[in-house]
Amino acid sequence: MDRRRDEENNNVVAVYEASLNGCVSTLNTSIQRDAMLLHKISLTSFAETPLHIAALLGHVEFTGALLSKKPNLANEVDSLGRTPLHLASAEGHTEIVKLLLPTNAEICLVCDEDGRIPLHLAAMRGRMEAMKELLFAKPDSIRVELDGCKVFHLCVQYNHLDALKLLVESSINEDDFLTSKDSDGNSILHLATMLKQTKTIKYLLSISEIKREVNATNRMGYTALDVLEFSPRDFKYLRIQDIFKEAGARRCTNLMISTSSSLGPTVRPGAEAQTAQNTFNEAVQASQSSRFLRSWSWVEYLRHQGNWMEERRGTLMVVATVIATMAFQAGITPPGGTAVLSYAWPLTYLIFLAFNSVSFVASLCAMLLIISGFPLRNKFAIWLTSAMITTVTFMALTYIFAVVLVTPRFLLPKFDFMVGFSTVTWIELLVILVVVHAISLYWMVKKIRKSTHRSNISGSSTRS
């Protein structure tokens, strides 16, 4: 009895070794010794069947031989709930997928312990050919969700654009799939925006069904453009912003304003209803004006600047510290090593000392604002911006007069051109910055006045 059991075990081990190597002759020899050998596989303690191993490693001939002798092996699952089709699909062994599907197309819908069907694994790995075979054998597999996500979401999550295109073409008559949302209410456009997949976003917005829903919101009430606003500003951000602009994407706050402005009675109600309607319209107008002011006012502009400074707090601290150190060093060790040049060039030295002192004090003020712990927003942003501009400007002037002090007088005429050019360039840059900010402020104020005027007109017509 023990000898017979040992022979059976040896035959089983030989089959598993043959599955690792894809050796069909060893398989046939083992089955000749024991015709019931493949039926005894389920009695062993191995987690996988030989077909699992062959499918994972891509042994096409060996897989065909196993299926010809026992087709039901295709239905067996391993310790993680995976069928051989799961493994072949994940690895992209298309020929093995073709051999497995005719045995039972229903295995396309078998979920492993993580809830994944073979199509999910193929989509996560971008196995295009395997996906085609799975969709052809069982089109309904595209409907199976994984943790609330459609297979479309998986293609975007793992950045397989070609696989996504294949799914879109396969579901051409299933528009609801394209606009489906995951458990958080995110569409595939939301997800692609979170991951900043520029090519995917451009492709999605070329599909009319998705473009119509470009302003759809997720569970938190955010559109895809809102999601983009939460991401870091970089080159991809600007590119995606342009794509959304061309597609007519809007932020949720703008959508709320549009919705509010479109509300109103279609028939003349009674006295009580009219009073309620007037109250509602006034609330809508107030809300609209409030949102407009928050979106376009100078306060919002300063808030944006403050956010930028808040994010760059560490960098600003380093810059202010370096400038303060330079100014301090120049003050206690003036050009020439001592203050002896103050006797030869008293006026120039006083100007140098004045500029250096202003730069030093301004940099200390900037450092004080940064380390004070106050949020660098609104009025603090104004003061910090002024301090930094003053610091840099007067440090540049300090440098110029320091060079004048240590340069021999016969070389100064040659230095005048350099000083003049540098000064003009710096002044031009400051003027450009002032003009740009002034224009931005002008347009913001103008839009606020227009909005207020329209609100007053609308309010007057509503009351009348």
The whole-number pLDDT of residue 80 equals 93
Q: What is the pLDDT of residue 19?
A: 93
Tokens of 279: 């109250």
Q: For the chain, which residues make up each domain, given as ranges?
A: 1-144, 152-250, 263-295, 302-460
Q: How many Å is the Cα radius of gyration of the chain?
A: 37
Which of 20, 190, 37 is closest to 28 using CA atoms? Answer: 37
Asked whether the predicted pLDDT for residue 76 surpasses 50, the reply is yes
The strand pairing partners of 146, in sequence order, are 149
pLDDT of residue 172: 54
Ramachandran assignment for 298, one of left (phi > 0), alpha (psi -120 to 50 degrees), beta (any other): alpha
State the average pLDDT over residues 89-117: 95
Q: How many alpha carbons lie under 13 Å from residue 55 in its C-beta half-sphere?
A: 30
Name the DSSP letter for residue 422: H
| 126 CB neighbour count, 10 Å cutoff | 18
Q: Residue 183 class from Cβ within 10 Å (0-12 exposed, 13-18 middle, 19+ buried)?
A: exposed
In this prediction, what percent of the chain has a pLDDT beyond 70?
Answer: 63
Write down the pLDDT at residue 83.
Answer: 96
421 by Cβ neighbours in 10 Å (0-12 / 13-18 / 19+) ranks as exposed
* CB-CB neighbours of 272 under 10 Å: 8
Average pLDDT over residues 391-403: 73
| Residue-level pLDDT at 445 | 64
Mean pLDDT, range 167-195, rounded to an integer: 82
Tell me the mean pLDDT in the region 206-231: 90
Q: What is the structure's pLDDT at 175?
A: 54
Q: Which one is predicted more confidently, 324 or 26?
A: 26
CA 62 – CA 49 distance, rounded (Å): 13
Residue type, position 322, single letter: V
> pLDDT class for 125, splitting at 50, 70, 90?
very high
156 pLDDT more than 90: yes
pLDDT at 90 over 80: yes
pLDDT at residue 299 is higher than 60 = no
343 band by pLDDT with thresholds 50, 70 and 90: low
Identify which of 121-135, 426-440, 447-461 has the greatest average pLDDT. 121-135
Residue 411 corresponds to which amino acid?
Answer: L
Mean of pLDDT values over 320-346 = 61
Among the residue ranges 72-86, 110-124, 392-406, the one predicted with the least confidence is 392-406
Q: 95 pLDDT exceeds 90?
A: yes
Q: Residue 152 and residue 177: Cα distance in Å, rounded?
A: 8
Query: For 17-57, what is each residue's pLDDT tens digit?
Result: 999 999 999 999 998 888 888 888 888 888 899 999 999 99
Q: Comparing C-alpha atoms, which of 314, 302, 340 is closest to residue 437?
A: 302
**pLDDT in the model for residue 34:** 86
* DSSP state letters, 46-70: -SS-HHHHHHHHT-HHHHHHHHHH-
Looking at the domain that runs over 1-144, which CATH code has it been given?
1.25.40.20
Q: How confident is the model at residue 305 (pLDDT cuts 50, 70, 90)?
A: very low
Per residue in 251-297, pLDDT (tens digit) is 887 766 555 554 444 334 444 444 444 544 454 444 444 443 344 33
> CA–CA separation, 279 vs 462, rounded Å?
10
**28-42, 59-73, 198-212, 300-314: least confident range:** 300-314
pLDDT attached to residue 304: 44
Cβ(359)–Cβ(327) below 8 Å: yes
CATH number, span 152-250: 1.25.40.20
